[in-house]
Structure 1
């Protein structure tokens, strides 16, 4: 089946138009806000090593801190977050860390809760990368700005892969890319990153992957293991239970970077585009994956509290024991990004130009069309 390129996507320059577009200067301004404030950075840099951790311990001693996880218990996000929090609790023996799983609405409710939290550092949490997509598309349902959070860093900069279940009648990635039939994929919500990425893959490569919402947490993987759906898209640690159960295998990667050593060398999306002019969209997927597991606080956090959390974040992710435990138990390679790294990433997306909202919406509409009709082309 041949997917004809949409006229609107014939050239990247033609994609950067539209009155409702996300303006580059707006995203640049937001990107500057994504990192710690200068006062917070100066505070963190003034302390180092054991002295910095001791100062953080004293600051939070006797307090209860809410730690928000925007996913159901048992999900990849939950497991990696809890390992981080366990190590964090060891660093803060005099502080009670109260974990709260808030899995509804693809992480939006957890993010909204964090956005409205006090600025004193008493509420921190993880954010989901689907909110990055939502902000790029200027979704009106958001009552927060993703790039306005106080980012301490990200646990890992990840990959996005497609795992094909052994119980599926689909034998290989070539069948999926041919677009000859609908491929079922489990999803938790219509605003999750893997839901968006399935539709983007359709629009970019001509597949017809239909994300089926309603599978929360570990149920997404169980649907693949049982054969209820054909495949799953997600980070390596998110799909690890399928692989460990011997119920599926990685057959494709949506992100551009090679997979970690020990994983198969599979085809990548960037090499299977129906139109080379769409390469910019792969960079969007790469950016969302690079955000990984962001750990953050509310906007405009007090500089001292933000500085302490930055110190604690770095102490955890740089601990060799934590890195090894994450690798062995979750298959998670700790590759941390700082708050400044996140700001730089967002600035890079801003540099792609105006019209990003319309461009992504057009691709998502195309990807949805291929799953809901007999149409073999978009546009």
Structure 2
């Protein structure tokens, strides 16, 4: 081998080694850019309020902005499908409710996502009872008076809904009380509640976070909650179970990512989410909205999601709701 040939060979061997150095370097730390949180219901809904509260905390903890993206429609399934189709890179998260993850398979004939297989659980956030509110012009002050009025006007009173968490308790009420009322569906809760305030619809079950300001402002009258105990922030509003034995329904909020999101990212998000839910200031804020803070590990949320899928399916079938 000549000296020139030897140098060429040595250079050729050195080039791949130098080119290979970046491949051995550690990948860029996550997150390196803003993180998107998809919310499947509209601005001002309880889901939206909870997502923004959690996003504020996570943004500070992660050192990157959290951008809330409301994808409304099809009972939350448009937002859920968008998450399921997103890259599992930690830059798309999902703050959602029992509607998309537990109720929709029983409410809809066709879904473009699987609530178990298409999502990586991160953690629970809160439970929420539903609150039954009526327009103040409706001549009822409690649930028994509403039942009596509905029986005297079969098919005449109207109720709105904007999610499974607001539709299912209403269907349970009509079924368990033996009354007939007209259902008026909406894409999300705030416009439904606005029409109850305006008197276009007589009543609805609303989530606590959306309904609380309207109740305290005197825009609607609260006559019952779907928990077995009164809500601390509205102690004078009785449980529906006080009138209809066995009536109980709790909706919930939780955070997920697309299936396949790397485990280290899920673990980091889980730690930060649990820290947020257990932060005294945030717990107080959630409680003021009528919510019950609940934290969990990813595995605990996975187990909970499966059990809730079965539970909500049974509730929907028992209430006589047909899939659409």
Q: Out of 99, 102, 110, which is 2:79 matched to? A: 110
Q: Paired residue for 1:200?
A: 172
Whole-angstrom CA distance in 2 between matches of 1:350 and 1:144:
14
Pick one of 342, 363, 366 that aligns with 2:319. 363
Which structure's residues are more often strand, by fraction?
2
Larger CA Rg, structure 1 vs 2: 2
Q: Deviations over 1:82-107 (max 9, x none)?
A: 121112111122x2322211111121
Whole-Å separation in 2 of the counterparts to 1:331 and 1:360: 24
- Corresponding residue of 1:18: none
Residue 124 of structure 1 deviates from its aligned partner by 0.3
What RMSD in Å do the two structures reach over aligned CA positions?
A: 2.9
User: What does 1:15-94 align with in structure 2 at a 5 Å threshold?
Assistant: 59-93=29-63
Deviation track 1:162-219 (CA, whole Å, cap 9, x = no partner) reads 122213244431133234133322233xx63312331222112223343312364422
Cα distance change of structure 1 residues 163 and 340 upon mapping to structure 2, 3 Å threshold: farther
Instruction: Note the 1:1-379 alignment, pairs <5 A.
Output: 59-93=29-63, 95-131=64-100, 132-135=102-105, 137=106, 139-148=108-117, 149-178=119-148, 179-180=150-151, 181=153, 182-188=156-162, 192-214=164-186, 216-260=188-232, 262-269=234-241, 272=244, 285-286=249-250, 289=251, 292-328=252-288, 330-346=289-305, 348=307, 360-361=316-317, 363-365=319-321
Q: Tell me if the contact between 1:221 and 1:241 (Cα under 8 Å) persists in the aligned partners.
A: no
| Counterparts of 1:216 and 1:139, CA distance in 2 | 16
Contact 2:47 2:96 in 1 (8 A): no
Q: Distance in 2 between matches of 1:74 and 1:142?
A: 25
Structure 1 contact 198–209 (Cα < 8 Å) conserved? no
SS at match of 1:211: strand
Q: TM-score scaled to structure 2, two decimals? A: 0.77
**Runs (5+) with no aligned partner, structure 2:** 1-27
Please list every run of 5 or more consecutive structure 1 residues that lacks an aligned counterpart in the other structure.
Answer: 1-57, 274-278, 367-379
TM-score normalised by L of structure 1:
0.67
Conserved in 2, the CA contact under 8 Å of 1:250 and 1:264? Answer: no
**Greater RCO (CA < 8 Å, at least 6 residues apart):** 1
- Between the aligned partners of 1:92 and 1:101, the Cα distance in structure 2 is 21
